[in-house]
């Protein structure tokens, strides 16, 4: 069965399960899925920033090129740091929304309100620093929303909880959409850049191994071949990983837009939101699976 067919089968199953969801369950699911995909994507940036430095160093050594301070520092470190901060803030916003849909005590709701404010402020700052454009929501706007949450925390009824979530989702949707429109392109560019550096490392190892095969003992040649195969496998799976993350983040924005429509309904859900949540869960699982597949195998680690 093709990957597309498997995805469709999983999606159909997930959408079927959503039908039985209780009110606010979709808000919780959106928060959880967005938090998960933001966290693993941020981890990808951190992990591959180290891989990039390793690849540049190893390529230089194999090619007998001078090792300079610049070689030992990622040329993308500063931009990667901003992407990680942005993804952490996006996940933090989603986590605060998830908490608002599930927590009951005043202290828990006040905590989620504070988290909501700090993460949206971080999202605004990192987006502006990355793009030189405004996210469209000011710190005073964010403060007003967070204060309203805290004031409403005393005696939170189901109606007040829904009203608070409705106000937040509708107020921040343009900002969330901007972030989720921006990040996918950056993720795809990152994947292509990493692919180039990792391919250079594979080529350097391949050339070095081929040049030494006539004099290298068989056992060492086999060991070097295994390491080369591991490097090649990781290089080949890096671009699909970042493309999958780009698809997932784009789906976060699309799903948030459908959440805006859903919170205006009595049931707090729509068929379109059901479908989009199912797709988001599938994309999230794909990112996690791709990330796990890029980790060094047990055999290579020995």
Q: Would you say residue 7 has pLDDT above 60? A: no
Could you tell me if 124 and 182 are in contact, meaning their C-beta atoms sit under 8 angstroms apart? no
Q: 17 pLDDT band (50/70/90 cuts)?
A: very low
Cα 134 from Cα 127, distance rounded (Å): 7
Q: Would you say residue 299 has pLDDT above 80? A: no
Mean pLDDT across the stretch 250-257?
98
- pLDDT for 163 equals 87
Mean pLDDT across the stretch 184-207?
95
Q: Would you say residue 18 has pLDDT above 60? A: no
> 3-state DSSP helix/strand/coil percent for the chain, to nearest 5?
80, 0, 20
3-state secondary structure of 140: helix
Q: 120 pLDDT band (50/70/90 cuts)?
A: very high
- pLDDT for 207 equals 95
As a whole-number percent, the residues of the chain with pLDDT over 90 amount to 72
Q: Would you say residue 111 has pLDDT above 50? A: yes
- pLDDT for 3 equals 47
The closest of 269, 274, 276, 253 to 93, measured between CA atoms, is 253
pTM over 0.75: yes
The closest of 298, 272, 180, 240 to 44, measured between CA atoms, is 240
Q: 156 pLDDT band (50/70/90 cuts)?
A: low
Q: Specify the length of the chain in residues.
A: 302
Which tens digit of pLDDT belongs to each residue from 57-88?
999 999 999 999 999 999 889 999 999 999 99
Cα 9 from Cα 145, distance rounded (Å): 40
Mean pLDDT across the stretch 126-138?
95
- pLDDT for 6 equals 41
Q: 149 pLDDT band (50/70/90 cuts)?
A: confident
- pLDDT for 160 equals 79
Distances in Å between the alpha carbon of 153 and those of 5, 100, 108, 117? 46, 10, 9, 15
- pLDDT for 9 equals 41
């Amino acid at each position: 069965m093709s990957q597309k067919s498997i995805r469709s089968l999983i999606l159909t199953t997930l959408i079927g399960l959503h039908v039985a969801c209780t009110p606010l369950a979709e808000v919780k699911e959106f928060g959880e899925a967005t938090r998960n995909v933001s966290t693993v994507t941020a981890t990808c940036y951190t992990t591959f920033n180290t891989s990039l430095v390793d690849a540049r160093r190893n390529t230089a050594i194999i090619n007998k090129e001078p090792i300079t301070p610049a070689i030992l520092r990622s040329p993308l470190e500063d931009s990667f740091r901003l992407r990680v901060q942005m993804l952490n803030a996006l996940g933090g916003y989603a986590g605060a929304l998830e908490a608002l849909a599930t927590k009951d005590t005043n202290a828990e709701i006040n905590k989620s309100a504070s988290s909501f404010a700090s993460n949206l402020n971080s999202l605004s700052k990192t987006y502006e620093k990355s793009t030189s454009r405004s996210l469209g929501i000011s710190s005073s706007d964010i403060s007003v929303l967070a204060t309203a949450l805290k004031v409403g925390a005393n005696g939170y009824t189901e109606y007040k909880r829904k009203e608070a979530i409705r106000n937040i989702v509708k107020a921040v949707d343009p900002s969330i959409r901007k972030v989720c429109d921006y990040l996918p392109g950056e993720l795809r560019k990152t994947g292509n850049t990493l692919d180039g550096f990792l391919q250079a490392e594979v080529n350097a190892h391949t050339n070095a191994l081929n040049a030494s095969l006539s004099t290298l003992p068989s056992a060492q040649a086999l060991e070097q071949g295994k390491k080369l195969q591991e490097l090649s496998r990781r290089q080949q799976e890096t671009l699909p990983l970042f493309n999958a993350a780009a698809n997932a983040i784009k789906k976060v924005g699309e799903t948030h837009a459908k959440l805006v429509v859903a919170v205006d309904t009595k049931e707090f859900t729509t068929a379109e939101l059901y479908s989009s949540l199912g797709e988001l869960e599938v994309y999230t699982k794909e990112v996690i699976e791709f990330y796990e597949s890029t980790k060094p195998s047990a055999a290579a680690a020995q």
